Amino acid sequence: MNTKVIGSLLILGTILTMGVWMVFGLNTDSMSPADKLNVLIANKTQVQIVSLVTTLGFAFLIIGLYYLSRKLSDHILSEIGGLILIAMLPLLIAINMSDVVALESEKLYSNGAAILTAVTAFDYGFLAMMAGVFLIGTGLAIEKKIGKGIIGVLFAICSLIAILSEVGLGFFGGIDFIGWLGTWLLFLITGILTFLQKEN
C-alpha cells in the first residue's frame, strides 16, 4: 500500500471518528446504563448514524496505522504495535456499535441497559489500542521516521498519558484530556505528512 493511500486512511479515519464525536456525539460518559439508554432512545437516529460513521472511521484509522507500521518503520516495536491494533479492530468495532445493539435489544427484549452494562467490561479495548499506538510511536522515534522522529516521540507521550488515564493513574483532568485528544490530532498530522511524503 502506498503512502498516499495510508495517509488518506489516517486523515479520513481521524475525521470520521474524533471529528464526528466532537460535533455530533452524545455526552453519556458519567451516566448510569439506564440513564444512558434513555438518552440513546431519545436520539435514536443520531446514535445510529454516528455509530455507523465512526465505525467506518475506526476501520480506516486502524488499517492506516497498521500499514504505517509496516511501510514506514522496520522496527520490531512498530510491527508489534501494528499487529496489536489490527487484532483489536473487531473488538473496537463491537464496542463502538454497542449503543445500536442496545437500542435494538431494548426494542426486542427490553434489556438494553443490560447490554450497556456488559459492554463496560470491554472498555479496556481502547487501552490496548493506545498500547499499540505507543509501540508504533516508539518505533518511529527510534528510527527517526516522520518529522525526524518528533511525531513518534509525541505519539509515545500522548498515548502513554492516555493509558495512565484509562487505568486511573492519570494526572490532572486537563492533561488526561490532552493525552487523548493529542493522540487523535497526531493521527491527523501523521496522515497529512504521510500523504505528502514521496514514495521511495
Confidence of residue 56 (pLDDT cuts 50, 70, 90): very high
Beta carbons within 8 Å of 162's beta carbon, 6+ residues apart? 130, 176, 179, 180, 183
The confidence score (pLDDT) of residue 119 equals: 83
- Counting residues of the chain whose pLDDT is more than 90, the rounded percentage is 37
If pLDDT is split at 50, 70 and 90, which confidence band does 121 have? confident
Q: How confident is the model at residue 199 (pLDDT cuts 50, 70, 90)?
A: low
Residues 48-74: what's their mean pLDDT? 90
User: Over 80: is that where the pLDDT of 117 sits?
Assistant: yes
Q: How far is CA 19 from CA 2, 13, 24, 54, 71, in A?
A: 25, 9, 8, 9, 26
Going by pLDDT thresholds of 50, 70 and 90, the confidence category of residue 60 is: very high
Distance CA 12, CA 188 (A): 8
Q: Does the pLDDT of residue 131 top 80, yes or no?
A: yes
Instruction: Please tell me the predicted confidence (pLDDT) of residue 164.
Output: 81
CB atoms within 10 A of CB 168: 6
pLDDT higher at 105 or 163? 105
What average pLDDT does the segment 72-92 reach? Answer: 88
Q: Is the pLDDT of residue 67 over 70?
A: yes
